[in-house]
Structure 1
Amino acid sequence: MTTSIIPVIQNYYSVKQQPQDNPPQYCTIQWRRNQLIVMPPGQVKQPPMPSLHKKQLLVECLKRTPATLVRIDPKLGEARLKFWADASFAAGKPIFLRIPSTHKQPNMINSLFGLLKRLSDWLMALIFLLTFAPLILGLVSLMRLHSQGPIFSSQWHIGERGKLFKVLKFRTTTTQQKAFEDDARDREGVEVTVLGRWMLKYGLDRLPQLLNVLKGDMSLLGPKCWSLEEGSRLNSTRLRELNALPGLARLSLLEEKFKTVDLVAEK
C-alpha cells in the first residue's frame, strides 16, 4: 500500500531515528493553502516516506492529494527538482520553484497591459507558425528520412513566477543527451547530425518554441529562459529574476545588437 505523502498536516511528526531499511529523508513536506510545499529537511523530521524515493509511488500519491499545485525549494538540487517535476507532470499537478517575490499583487493597469501583451504574443506566434509551416514540415520530413528517434527534444525550464514547464526544440543530435546546449562546441561526446548542425547555425531548432509561446509559457521577447539546471544554482538575489515571463528572444541580446549597430554607425 502506498505511503501517503500528506499526513494530516496541522502537526509535524518528530522522529528521532529512522529504520535502517529506509533511506534518509531529503525533504520536509508541508501543506499550506491547497499547496504542497517541498522544502529541505529541518530540525523537525517526518516519518519515513517511501514515495519520496520512488517515482511511481510519488505519482500515485500526488494524484490522490487535493493539492492544486506543488512548490519546491530550489535548494534541493537539480536531480531532486527534476524528479519532482517529472512526477508532478505525470500526476497532472503544476509545479513551481519557491522564489522570492519582486512585487505585490499587480494593479488593474498592469493586468490590462499583461493581457494585451499576452494577446499580441499569441497572435504573432500564430502568424509565425503559419508562415514557417512549410519549413517546419520540411524539417520534420528530413529528420524522418535521415535520422532515427523522436522529432522533438524537451527539457525543464523555469517560467513566470517559477513555474516549471518543458521547452521544445527540434532534436539536433543522435541522442537526447545535451540536446539543449547553446553551442555545438559544448557537445562533448554527443554526435550532432548534419541536419542538426545546419538547424543550429540558423536557429531553426528553436522553431517549436512558438508552441510554448502559444501556451503562455513564454513571450516572444523577454528575459532569459533559465533551464532547471541553471535555476538550481542561482543565488537568492538572482532567483528574483525568475518572476518574469521568459522570452523566446532575449531582450538583453537585442539591446547589445542595437548598441553594436549604433557604434558602427557613429564610426
Structure 2
Amino acid sequence: MGKLLVTLPRKSKQPYLPALENEELLVNCLQHSPINLVDIDPRLGTTCLLFWAEACHKANKQLYIRSAFSNRFLKKSNPFLRFFARIIDFCLGCGLLLWLSPIILALMFVIRRYSPEMLFISEWYVGERGKLIRGLKFYTGSEANMIPIGSWMRKYGLDNLPKLVNIIRGELSFFGYNNGQLDEAVQSSLNIQQPLVSYSGLNTSNL
C-alpha cells in the first residue's frame, strides 16, 4: 500500500505543482496515483488541511494527520480490548439512536420546515490514530442567519445527534480518544509543539 507524506517545505526552493492550488487537479492526481493513504502535517494549517481533506474524500483516499488527539487508550490496549470497545460503541450507539429517535425525527421535521434544502451538514473530525472523518450534524444555520431553534440545539448539543451514525460505523467513539474538530487538532499541535517527523516536501513510500 502506497503512502503520500505532505509536510512543510524546507528552506530550499520547491518545484511548482499546480495541483497544490487546484482541487480538481489534485483529485485527478490522487485518483490516478497508486497511493491509498495520505499523511499530512497539521502545521500546514487548517485551510491547507481542509483543501487536502476535500480532495482525498473525492478521490476516495484515506487522510491522516499527526495531532494531539492520538488514541492513547487504544494504542496501549490489546486486540481484545479494541474489539470490546468497538462492540460497546456499536451497541450503545444503536441503543441511543433508537431511544432518541422520537427527538431526532421531531428535530428533522422542524429543521426541514425552516430549511427545505438542507437538513444535515458535515464537519471534519479527527478520529482514531489521526484519521480524518466527516462527522454528521444537524443544520442550524449560520451565526447571522440561524433557524429559530438553532441556538437552542447548539446550547444542548442536539445538533450533534447525527454523529451517532458515525459511532455506529466505527468512525468515531464514545471513549478511548477525543473526537476533536480539525481546527482544534491543528491548534493543539501548534500549542504543544508535538515532535513531528521531518520530510522533504512531498514524497511517496511503501508501508
Matches within 5 A, 1:100-249: 110-173=78-141, 175=142, 187=143, 190-235=144-189, 238=192
Q: Deviations over 1:119-146 (max 9, x none)?
A: 1110110111112222212211111112
1:69–1:94 CA contact under 8 A, matched in 2: yes
What residue in structure 2 maps to residue 260 of structure 1? Answer: none
Unaligned runs of 5+ in 1: 1-32, 176-186, 241-267
Name the stretch that deviates more: 155-164 or 57-66.
155-164
What residue in structure 1 maps to residue 203 of structure 2? Answer: none
CA distance in 1, matches of 2:36, 2:82: 24
From the superposition, tell whether residues 106 and 84 of structure 1 become closer, same or farther in structure 2 (CA, over 3 Å). closer
Name which structure has the greater RCO, CA cutoff 8 Å, separation 6+: 2
Match of 2:174, SS? strand
Q: Deviations over 1:185-238 (max 9, x none)?
A: xx4xx2322122332233221110101101212212355422111211224684
Structure 2 residue 31 is matched with structure 1 residue 77: no
Structure 2 residue 35 is matched with structure 1 residue 67: yes
1:158–1:228 CA contact under 8 A, matched in 2: yes
From the superposition, tell whether residues 106 and 97 of structure 1 become closer, same or farther in structure 2 (CA, over 3 Å). closer
CA distance in 2, matches of 1:67, 1:82: 19
From the superposition, tell whether residues 130 and 162 of structure 1 become closer, same or farther in structure 2 (CA, over 3 Å). same
From the superposition, tell whether residues 132 and 40 of structure 1 become closer, same or farther in structure 2 (CA, over 3 Å). same
Match of 2:121, SS? strand
Identical counterparts, % of pairs: 37
Give the letter for the 1:112 counterpart: F
Match of 2:146, SS? coil
Q: Deviations over 1:129-184 (max 9, x none)?
A: 112222212211111112343111211111111111111111112x4xxxxxxxxx
Unaligned runs of 5+ in 2: 195-207
CA distance in 1, matches of 2:75, 2:180: 23
Give the letter for the 2:128 counterpart: E
Structure 1 residue ranges, 4+ long, deviating more than 4 angstroms after superposition:
43-46, 99-103, 236-240
Match of 1:70, SS? strand
TM-score normalised to the size of structure 1? 0.65
2:118–2:139 CA contact under 8 A, matched in 1: yes
CA distance in 2, matches of 1:34, 1:209: 30
1:99–1:239 CA contact under 8 A, matched in 2: no
1:231–1:239 CA contact under 8 A, matched in 2: no
- Give aligned pairs, total: 192
TM-score normalised to the size of structure 2? 0.82
Give 1 or 2 for the bigger CA radius of gyration.
1
